[in-house]
Structure 1
């Protein structure tokens, strides 16, 4: 169990840092309702996303893709991305380097 707090990031969306090191961070995002949004954004970190549960439509740059439990993908540094929850679930994201703004 993580010692980090659960932080609301949007309507029906929370995030919790699971572990961190200056070179790497693991974060869980929980989407509790269909239609919940992970707002479009970008950051200098390379991100990998693993879909632990649920179903999501991701925007990655100028492309869209639907992902579900067991899928994973990498988002390059600086790429605009976001998602819409199609079925409640959890995403596990890894960032390199660590997202200091999440601490």
Structure 2
């Protein structure tokens, strides 16, 4: 169980840091309702996303793709990305280096 707080990040979306180290961070993003949005954004970190549960439509750069339970993918540093929740669930993201802005 994580000792980090659950932080609201948008309507029906929250995040919780699960573990961190200066070179790596693991974060759970929980989407509690269909239509919840992970807003388009970019950051200098390389991100790996694992879909623990639910279904999501991601925009990564110019491409759109749907992902469901067990899917995973990598988002390169600086690539604009975001998602729309199609079925409530949880994304587990890993960032390298750590997202200090999440601490």
> TM-score category by the smaller chain?
over 0.9
Q: Which residue of 2 aligns with 1:2?
A: 2
Q: Which residue of 2 aligns with 1:95?
A: 95
Shift of 1:40: 0.1
Q: Matched residue of 1:53: which SS?
A: coil
2 CA distance for matches of 1:100 and 1:88? 27
Shift of 1:94: 0.0
What is the aligned-residue RMSD (CA, Å)? 0.1
**Residue segments in structure 2 that go unaligned for 5+ positions in a row:** none
Q: Deviations over 1:71-90 (max 9, x none)?
A: 00000000000000000000
Runs of 4+ in 1 over 4 A off after TM superposition: none
Q: How many pairs were matched up?
A: 103
Shift of 1:8: 0.1
Residue 15 (structure 2) pairs with residue 15 (structure 1): yes
Q: TM-score w.r.t. structure 1 length? A: 1.00
Residue 27 (structure 2) pairs with residue 27 (structure 1): yes
Q: TM-score w.r.t. structure 2 length? A: 1.00
Shift of 1:42: 0.1
